[in-house]
């Protein structure tokens, strides 16, 4: 797999609890891909992209290191990204 939908990847990486929440987060403008605000949940991301997510409790900066066909446990999710930074709100 070379690309994956942004909302699906956020859900698989366990950034949010539901895929619909991931889509709403993107549509609200709280997600950036490589520094550019993304408003389309279907935007394709690829390996090496940097995803910045603004959440209620802070900001997470994640480098995409993998994709998965299904949402797994937290160990599987942690293999999908490298945490580059986080800040508290």
* pLDDT at 39 exceeding the cut of 90: yes
For the beta carbon of residue 12, count every other beta carbon within 10 angstroms. Answer: 23
For the beta carbon of residue 70, count every other beta carbon within 10 angstroms. Answer: 6
* Residue with the two structure tokens 């409790």: 57
At residue 85, the pLDDT reads 75
At residue 18, the pLDDT reads 95
**pLDDT single digits (tens) 58-88:** 899 999 999 999 999 999 999 999 999 766 5
**Best CATH choice for the domain 3-88 from the list 3.30.1440.10, 2.40.37.10, 3.10.290.10, 3.30.750.200:** 3.10.290.10
**pLDDT single digits (tens) 46-60:** 999 999 999 888 899
The domain limits of the chain are: 3-88
Is this structure's pTM higher than 0.95? no
CA angle at 48 for the pair 14 and 13, rounded to the nearest 5°: 5
């Amino acid at each position: 797999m070379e690309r994956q939908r942004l909302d699906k990847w956020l859900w698989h990486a366990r950034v949010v609890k539901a895929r619909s929440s991931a889509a709403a987060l993107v549509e609200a403008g709280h997600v950036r891909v490589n520094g550019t605000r993304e408003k389309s949940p279907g935007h394709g991301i690829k390996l090496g992209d940097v995803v910045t997510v603004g959440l209620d409790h802070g900001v997470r900066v994640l480098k995409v290191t993998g994709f998965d066909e299904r949402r797994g446990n937290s160990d599987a999710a942690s293999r999908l990204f490298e945490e580059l930074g986080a800040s508290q709100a």
